[in-house]
Structure 1
Amino acid sequence: MSEGASSRIGRLLEQARDGDVAARDQLFQSCRNYVAVIARAQVESWMRAKVDASDLVQQTMLEAHRGFDEFKGCNEAEWLAWLKQILGHNTQDFIRRYRTAKRQAGLEVPAVGTESTFDPIGEFAAASMTTPSQVLMAHERELAVADAIAQLSEDHQTVLQLRSLQRLPFDEVAQRMNRSRPAVQMLWMRAVQKLEETLHEADQS
């Protein structure tokens, strides 16, 4: 058995390819939070505003379901890269439609990037920050991190998205969240602590 197949995602991939419908459903469910975290960070980064990314997530998961037989990888890293590629293409289409609609409405639209390689969880993992980034160094922890973020409160998710994933300065985070800088800094520290606790609890379970 390959190194990738020894992981949970690798096993689910093998079972799904063998026709196990339950394993296939579990495979996609296991990655939904991961796709959602990246989608939200991408949309917020490009649109400079909070936008509901749920439609983008749904479209990406549906396309991955339909095109599952086209996936040729065998391990978690390749699987996540494939999902990010689909999400990147869908996000580019989303941005183009958004900009076209705004122009047709006569509104000014700032130039924004549409790089499909934007990977907020990977960026967070590579960043030389405090202890949470150290927890994220291993690639296989990306799914665990996304699941842990999804369990946090909305405020904690938002501050981590803006500060830790997009690495915006605290002044800009404070402006977007309509709070003072000291309040945002305190919120971020608490969010980091809660993230660490959630990841630790997951490791112990």
Structure 2
Amino acid sequence: MSSSKPSELSIEALLNRVREGEQGAWEALLRRSESNLEDWAARRIGNAAPGGIRASDVTQEAALGAFQRFASFRGTSEGEWRVWLEQVLHSRWVDLLRKAGSQKRNDVGALPLDASEAQDIPAPQRSPSTVSFHQEEWRRLLACFYELPDAQREALSLYYLHDSTVMGIAQRLGRSREAVDSLLQRGLRTLRARMEGVAELESEENPDAILIRNQVDAALSVYFRRREEGKPLEPDTFAAGYPECADELRGLLHWLEKLRALQPSTDS
């Protein structure tokens, strides 16, 4: 494999590296395609769009759609990639329009903008710097999740993005429940380490660290089972119930909750 940095590679080379699971390749591919997505989104939206849809919304939805459907993309050239990516964007744009129409029909009790009560409600706006930060975090989460080891990514995807049970995943993958628990736990640790820019410690020799890791694993197993049972789970409250490993547990649950942003739409 070439030692060239992802930012220096052609689209064709990036597609190959994404398929090989190379770290950083998916994020580089998204960055290289971002300007095209933004141009296509701007052309579709024009000067106004229902439901306050912005070009950035469509761009982000298209990137998410590409992530979710990439396994179905069989092309190898830049031209094939761009055609396929524009098709994904068009599909997401149609979905957003449908949702905006549905939301408009459901907003029966909404206040008119010129009503006196509405004047006291703060506008739900974020500064450009805040929007940029969240978009960058979302893009990194997407890339880091895609670049997890195959078994970890598949287990997390089936469990959290497609609402499979641990036993259901075990049967599908031909593994034990304990093995699936381990895949979910290691996947979360890898995701957290990459998102926070710290080293992944798979073979920690410190006895205290091993003890905390084992406590966290046991707590996560309980979390998975309670979630399957439909019990309400608030991450901070749950972590507080395990004071010996609360900080480590809370950090993993934080990124588990962030995966909600990657969940496929049930409307499409």
TM-score range, shorter chain: 0.3 to 0.5
Superposition TM-score, scaled by structure 1 size = 0.42
Higher relative contact order (CA 8 A, sep 6+): 1
Superposition TM-score, scaled by structure 2 size = 0.33
